Structure 1
């Protein structure tokens, strides 16, 4: 056998070996893809026997701590119904710093977020949102000393007015966009901001309509509300990106829940009846 033929044979063998390795790798990858469980995230929760839901207690009446120390509210009714549907226990993880809740979801510390969270394009870059389960908007709580002068939202946009917001919320974003002359000051929590307006340290507080309505009922001696929303904001359940099975399950669950008696009963309990106010400790001015 001459040298040229020998080289040709060896070269052909090398090509065949490489092709075989490539085909084997592709076949293995295809088998792994075929074996991937399309419901792995749902099954993970069921295997762990617990649904971890992140929230920010203190947003009345969506999530708050009652006198027994339990987290209750409109969102918590949804969370419990989800846990029941999955056949697992509910574990509520309360975040004092609302800015920390999205990173916690991304890190896998919680399974989803139910926190009266507005669906926004910015947040949707970090998480996947369910269909809306509640429609809200931004309203304003105003110190009583301005009752005669302030009749609408834009009456607040004056150089000598201070408007407070909760850091990291859509209320803060809306205030920054809407009020160009007034001073905007960020605070850590909604209750803190309410009391700041009540004691006269600031003039008004921008926050979600339902929260403003509750606070106005509690502190009539020092504040009044402008309840007509000046924004439109849908709330959604947030799940970690890359979990299509869990997102689909949440949407399917909401399809049924939103037309159920359970949803109606929950809505009436937290937004129509005020008996729950006796079950929670409201901050005092």
Structure 2
């Protein structure tokens, strides 16, 4: 056998062994529960879209932006329960699930509803918040909307990628509406007359009612799947049983003790202070 051929075969053997070793390490990592990996890293990285007060929003502290809100406070409580530090990464709402799937974040806590479509891509904790959906309109139209049929005739706005957008598409069968990443941008479009109404969580609608002059929450009851919004924590699929149990136990404790209600009330107060 020629010397060059021997060398080539030797290199090939090394390459095969290297691939095998990588495979072994990958398999070993894949068998590690997500909670074990988080504890090993000493931190949990949470992804959020900070444009949905009181759940997550930005405030200015010392000339720098800081993410605050009920979801962030809850994330800190859960991180404390795990015995790790909390790191928050902000991004657009519709970029959160891809970031979770790519392993860029360990969990998504951002007022996300566990609908059937999302369950195909990620796993969810138990529900930590339930609330009705609401409609924001110009103050002059606050008593004019009586039904969903009237909504169908309006220029509607909704947060991109939200449960409310699914409601507009699947329940109201609408194709012509405006979907934006940030709720404040929708509110400004409503205020300027570019939109007739915004469909969003009732608590968020009420907060924005007080934040912007000239817009009010309409007195209309949404039906056909648009009555209630549930929120849960999203995690990457696979080897997450211990992590989900930890999250579920934490959520149960926060709700049973009344601590979550205090967290939400504090977040609402923070929003009120930001308006002044």
TM-score bracket relative to the smaller structure: 0.7 to 0.9
Q: Does 1:203 align with 2:196?
A: yes
Q: 1:186 is matched with which residue: 159, 179, 188?
A: 179
Written as runs of structure 1 = structure 2, the 5 A alignment for 1:106-125 is 106-125=101-120
Shift of the 91–182 alpha-carbon distance from structure 1 to 2, 3 Å rule, reads closer
Asked if the contact 2:53–2:207 (Cα under 8 Å) also holds between the matched residues in 1, the reply is yes
Q: Could you tell me how far 1:148 is from its partner in structure 2?
A: 4.7
Q: Distance in 1 between matches of 2:246 and 2:140?
A: 49
Higher mean alpha-carbon deviation, 108-117 vs 164-173, is at 164-173
Instruction: Please say if residues 55 and 63 of structure 1, whose CA atoms lie closer than 8 Å, have aligned partners that are also in contact.
Output: yes
Residues 106/196 of structure 1: CA separation in 2 closer, same or farther (3 Å cut): same
Query: Which contiguous aligned blocks of 4+ residues in structure 1 show a shift greater than 6 angstroms?
Result: 35-39
2:216 alignment partner, one of 221, 224, 235: 224
Unaligned 5+ segments in structure 1 are: 1-28
SS at match of 1:99: helix
Query: Which structure exhibits the higher relative contact order, with contacts defined as CA atoms closer than 8 Å and separated by 6 or more residues?
Result: 2
CA distance in 1, matches of 2:270, 2:93: 27
| TM-score normalised to structure 1 length | 0.77
Alpha-carbon shift at residue 114 of structure 1 (Å): 0.5
Q: How many pairs were matched up?
A: 243
Cα RMSD between the aligned structures? Answer: 2.5
Say if 2:142 and 2:217, in contact at 8 Å, map to a contact too: no
Where does the alignment leave 5 or more consecutive residues of structure 2 unmatched? 1-23
**Superposed CA offset, 1:145-171 (max 9, x none):** 32353244433232xx21111221111
Tell me how far 1:142 sits from its aligned partner: 0.6
Cα separation, 2, equivalents of 1:178 and 1:241: 28
Q: CA deviation at 1:258?
A: 1.6
**CA distance 1:126–1:149, change in 2 (3 Å):** same
Give the TM-score normalised by the residue count of structure 2.
Answer: 0.79
If you compute each CA radius of gyration, which structure gives the higher value, 1 or 2?
1
Q: Is contact 1:157–1:182 with CA below 8 Å preserved after alignment? A: no
Structure 1 residue 91, shift from structure 2 partner = 0.5
1:236 aligns with 2:232: yes
